Amino acid sequence: MRSLAIIAALVAAPFFLSASASAAEECEAKSWNLSGQQKACFSAKVVDILCEVAGNCPANCGDGKRQLGLLRTDNGKLVYPQKNLQSTFNGAVADLAPHCGKTIDVRGWLVGDEETLKGAAQLYQVQWIRAEGGEWKKANKWTKDWAKKNPDAKGKGPWFRRDPRVKEEIDEGGYLGLGPDEDIVFIKDNY
């Protein structure tokens, strides 16, 4: 039994060392004045959340189509990254997907306060990512990925005004989601 404990401790040791090495650096992240924000820098393995919680595990974490999580090396807890560093309504998967199954360092903020969390764990905004042996890079890949996937949507203005799916939804359901006729009533009453 003692040898089993020693093996387990040896297996875990590099991860604890990695976490403490990361923590020894200054934890730099830009404040967005988010509800309940707490600066958080840690090492973590990038995982497919559906695989982690439900055992549904396609190859390569779902190739960037599924939400990805951060399995912290210091405490083994699964952290949910909701957001990247960009300010235009973008998630974090484009930045995390290239690191599927690998351990990375991240800098960012744990987010959420008791009013909305109601006892649940805080979620995460990832601002910076460092691959093993690499340099820190901003988590800002989403819009470039979108432009590659939507070459016909080139034009002026931000992506969210040009996105074909968003435009289709608004054409059908209006800006309020209640149908285009309700938009007209709302605009006439409020502008």
Partner 1 sequence: MSGLTRVLALGLALLPGIALASEGKRIEIKGELIDTWCYFSGVMGGPEAVTGSAHHTCALWCAAGGIPVGLLGEDGEVYMVLKLPDDDNSAGGDTFVELTNDTINAEGMMYERDGLKYLVVSEVISNDGVANLTHEDYGVIPGFAIPKKKIKAVTVE
Binding to partner 1 in span 44-73, by CB under 8 A: 45, 47, 49-57, 62, 64-68, 73
> Of the listed pieces 4-12, 21-29, 126-134, which binds partner 1 according to CB under 8 A?
4-12
Shorter beta-carbon distance to partner 1: residue 34 or 131: 34
Q: What is the Rg, in whole angstroms, of the alpha carbon atoms belonging to the chain?
A: 20
> Of the listed pieces 22-30, 112-120, 131-139, which binds partner 1 according to CB under 8 A?
112-120
113 binds partner 1 (CB under 8 A): yes
> Of the listed pieces 21-29, 131-139, 181-189, which binds partner 1 according to CB under 8 A?
181-189
Shorter beta-carbon distance to partner 1: residue 26 or 108: 108
- Phi, psi angles (nearest 5°) of residue 69: -115, 170
- Phi, psi angles (nearest 5°) of residue 183: -60, -45
Distance CA 45, CA 79 (A): 10
Shorter beta-carbon distance to partner 1: residue 26 or 59: 59
Q: Is 46 helix (H, G, I), strand (E, B) or coil?
A: strand
Of 26, 115, 135, 152, which lies in the binding site for partner 1, with binding defined by CB under 8 A?
A: 115
Distance CA 157, CA 174 (A): 20
Shortest Å, Cβ 147 to partner 1: 13
Q: Looking at this protein, which amino acid is placed at residue 38?
A: Q
Counting every residue written for the chain, the total comes to 191
117: number of CA atoms within 13 Å, CB side? 14
142 binds partner 1 (CB under 8 A): yes
Distance CA 52, CA 46 (A): 11
Shorter beta-carbon distance to partner 1: residue 135 or 191: 191
